[in-house]
Structure 1
Amino acid sequence: MLDPVIDPDGAPFWRYAAAGELRVQACADCGEPRFPPRPCCPHCQSFAAEWRPVSGHGRIWSYVVPHPPLLPDYAEQAPYNVIVVELADAPRVRLVGNLVAAPGARLDSVPPERLRIGAKVQVVFTEEGLPQWVLERP
């Protein structure tokens, strides 16, 4: 597994994920959620921020099945999917991850033909705290 690159703005995201909680940064002044995390709100230019819990429910907004694999470290799991999830309770926020059959499952655990735009998904976390996604109705 590749380790995420953790910068000061995104460190709280990974801290919460390691605890099995999905949170997104939001402006403490105008309330708009934002991802990726950044110091300034793109809507009102405020530097006030907070981390809000989200339900972890969403839908597949887009996906790709790379051929050949994008990351050599994952070649043995190819073909694998990379999905973009639009969060149900923060639709402007879209997170990138993998659709898997169960928490911590291999990246190839869901056949590519099962991927559908609009499919409802739920966040799960690996033992290392990496967010992944499972279908709400497998």
Structure 2
Amino acid sequence: MIENYEKLNVPGPTITSVSKPFWDAVAQKEFILQKCIDCHEWVFYPRTICPHCWSDQLEWIPASGKGRLKTWGVVHKPGHPAWSEVAPYVLGIVELDEGPTMMSHLLLDPKRDLHIGLPLEVSFTKCNTVWLPFFKRSSNY
């Protein structure tokens, strides 16, 4: 399944000055998240202000890359034609162990036992020249 993604010529993420540390870490196969120095809450998606306490004191910290499936959908007709080569594929909302949720591709068979609470872990997947943080079933499950 993963080998199919390497040949895709899909648009990469929009990298901004705020999100650049996240994408640089993903390119190194590292999973980092922002954490607020003031209220100690984890934050995702990358931003300049903590959504919990409005502090601007956010730092990048290594995160577990683990979580649980909160919900999912199976994409049969992708919004960008380049994704058609791997359709149908599963997009899911992953509730990270640190607390935030993240939407990502799930490297799971859409016909198999997807269920709420399924343990997942990050799987760094190369799409053409860009590394992306997809998720797969946890190896401990």
Normalising by structure 1, we get a TM-score of 0.84
Aligned length: 127
Q: Which amino acid aligns with 2:131?
A: G
Residue 117 (str. 1) matches residue 85 (str. 2) = no
Identity of aligned residues (%): 39
Give the Cα separation in 1 of the matches to 2:52 and 2:122.
Answer: 27
Deviation at 1:126, TM superposition (A): 2.0
Q: Which moves more between the two structures, 17-26 or 127-136? A: 127-136
Equivalent in the alignment of 1:17: 26
Return the structure number with greater strand share.
2
Deviation at 1:111, TM superposition (A): 2.2
Q: For structure 1, list consecutive stretches of 5 or more residues without a partner in the other structure.
A: 101-109
Cα root mean square deviation, aligned: 1.6
- Give the conservation status (yes or no) of the 8 Å contact 1:69–1:80: no
Normalising by structure 2, we get a TM-score of 0.82
Deviation at 1:69, TM superposition (A): 2.3
Deviation at 1:130, TM superposition (A): 1.0
Of 72, 79, 99, the match for 2:88: 79
Map 1:1-138 → 2, pairs under 5 A: 1-88=10-97, 90-91=98-99, 93-100=100-107, 110-114=108-112, 115-127=114-126, 128-137=130-139
Q: Which amino acid aligns with 1:134?
A: K
Give the Cα separation in 2 of the matches to 1:130 and 1:112.
Answer: 20
Give the Cα separation in 1 of the matches to 2:138 and 2:49.
Answer: 34
